[in-house]
Amino acid sequence: MKRLGVGLIGSGFMGKCHAQAFRAAPTFFALPREPALELLADIDAKTAQKAARALGFARSTGEWKTLVADPAVEVVSITTPTALHKPMALAALAAGKHVWCEKPVAASAADAREMAEAARKARAVTVVGFNYLRHPLIRLAREMVASGEIGEVIGFRGVHLEDYMADPKTPWVFRFDPAGGHGALSDIGSHILSVARHLAGEIAEVSGQLVTAIARRPAARGSAKTRAVEVDDQARALLRFASGATGSIEASWIAWGRKLTLAFELTGSKGTILLDFERMNELQIFTAGQRRGRAGFKTILAGPDHPPYGSFTPAPGHHIGFNDLKTIEAKMLIEAIAGGPPAWPDFEDAWHIQQAIDAIALSARERRWVRTSDL
């Protein structure tokens, strides 16, 4: 089978995920191309070498530009801090590579648009790592919407809550750097906005609120010196969708006790869908018109009736996990590169998500409703 040369930039949490996904994808799916882990780039040669060995890459480099130019690399995975996504993606696209980029795609909608345009011009396959959209139950939810099972969508309330920044002693890290965009809004708000858009359509207008509840952080772990936090740790917005549906989102990385509360309630004119990724293998649905005395929410457990769950195990209710989502993402990327169905969300989609992010921030700053198309 023809190989697909993979280059990975970054080897942290998400770098590992990409590497594992490339390795796992051919195990679970019959793929048209066999990913080959060619080259890994990281902050310096030594770090890169160590990571390459751990993650199974053939070669390594301390220069990402070297990776982008490497002829054996056909697809570039970008898993660095957000501020670096644009230069790396543009260079990769310019070098004729396909790109798998982590979210948020860029620090601003303007940057995201530039990336989307470059991708279009390059006719490259691009995928942005909104991995939760890969879950078979999100696919089910979208099918239910499309088939009219809950009627017309009239409301969406979504949250993405975690607590990885809840402890005020958690030190300043790159995620607090405004150069990467916003705070919780960019980091996890982007996820719930991606879900909102996937299920309820384009977001037209927002009224936002950004809050920095913990104003200063230790400059480094254990340091007595502190550093001001300039980005939000709680973000909220009222939404109006292009369809006329309305809703809200909230993102917080200081929500004590929450680990993956990426949850939504999708209200239709004939039913309701609920999903919470802390129980990611359960979807709840209520439909109008049930028999009197027998009506209620039904809990559907992910199973082989919900593709591509069956590629992982034939047994329903046996659970897929977080890494499996990334494996599905890699599969879609590889198939698209081989000429299969288009991959999504691509840079174009990510740009629209970024518009919503920036609109929320602008709205919060100017205390007025803002159209996403203005960003």
Site for its own copies in 24-83 (CB under 8 A): 24, 26-28, 30, 54, 56
> Out of 50, 65, 157, 227, which residue is the one contacting its own copies (CB under 8 A)?
157
CB 214 within 8 A of CB 254: yes
User: Which of 74-82, 107-115, 237-245, 336-344 is the region at the interface with its own copies (rule: CB under 8 A)?
Assistant: 237-245
Residues 168-197 that bind its own copies (CB under 8 A): 168
Instruction: With CB under 8 A as the rule, give the number of residues binding its own copies.
Output: 90
CB of residue 237 to its own copies, shortest distance in Å = 8
**Shortest Cβ distance from residue 268 to its own copies (Å)?**
7
Three-state SS at 222: coil
Query: Binders of its own copies among 87-126, rule CB under 8 A?
Result: none
Of 66-74, 84-92, 114-122, 205-213: span binding its own copies (CB under 8 A): 205-213
298 lines the binding site for its own copies (CB under 8 A): yes
Alpha carbon 90 to chain centroid distance? 20
Beta carbon nearer to its own copies, 180 or 208: 208
Nearer to its own copies, 114 or 202 (CB): 202
Which of these segments, 107-115, 175-183, 195-203, 258-266, binds its own copies (CB under 8 A)? 258-266
The residue from 71, 296, 339, 341 that contacts its own copies (CB under 8 A) is: 296
Residue closer to its own copies (CB basis): 126 or 281 = 281
| Tokens at 99, concatenated | 């790109």
Interface segment toward its own copies; rule CB under 8 A; list 121-129, 220-228, 245-253, 332-340: 245-253
Please, which residue, 175 or 279, has the CB nearer to its own copies?
279
Structural contact between residues 72 and 5, judged by C-beta atoms closer than 8 angstroms: yes
Determine the angle formed by the axes of helices 85-94 and 109-122, rounding to 10 degrees. 10
User: Which of residues 207, 354, 355, 372 is near its own copies by CB under 8 A?
Assistant: 207
Asked if 374 interacts with its own copies (CB under 8 A), we say no
Return all residues near 83 (Cβ < 8 A) that are at least 6 apart.
Answer: 107, 174, 177, 179, 180
Quote the least distance from Cβ 95 to its own copies, whole Å.
28
Rounded distance between C-alpha atoms, residue 35 and residue 25, angstroms:
9
* Rounded-to-integer distance, Cα 60 and Cα 54, Å: 11
State the nearest-atom distance from the C-beta of 317 to its own copies, in Å: 2
Question: Following DSSP, what letter does each residue of 153-187 receive, concatenated?
Answer: EEEEEEEEE--TT-STTSPP-GGG-GGG--SHIII
Minimum gap (Å) between residue 247 Cβ and its own copies? 8
Interaction with its own copies in 310-329: which residues (CB under 8 A)? 312-324
211 lies in the site for its own copies, by CB under 8 A: yes
Closest CA to 323 of 92, 11, 102, 22: 22
- Judged by CB under 8 A, which of 62, 303, 310, 340 binds its own copies? 303
Q: Could you tell me if 28 and 323 are in contact, meaning their C-beta atoms sit under 8 angstroms apart?
A: no
| Residue-wise DSSP of 61-88 | ES-HHHHHH-TT--EEEE-S-GGGHHHH
Whole-angstrom CA distances from 268 to 265, 291, 338, 353 are 10, 19, 37, 22
Which CB sits closer to its own copies, 19 or 115? Answer: 19
268-287: which residues touch its own copies (CB under 8 A)? 268-272, 277-281, 285-287
Q: How far apart are CA 31 and CA 221, in angstroms?
A: 44
Question: Is residue 344 classed exposed, middle or buried when 0-12, 13-18 and 19+ CB atoms within 10 A define those classes?
Answer: middle
Query: How far is Cα 311 from Cα 30, in angstroms, rounded to an integer?
Result: 9
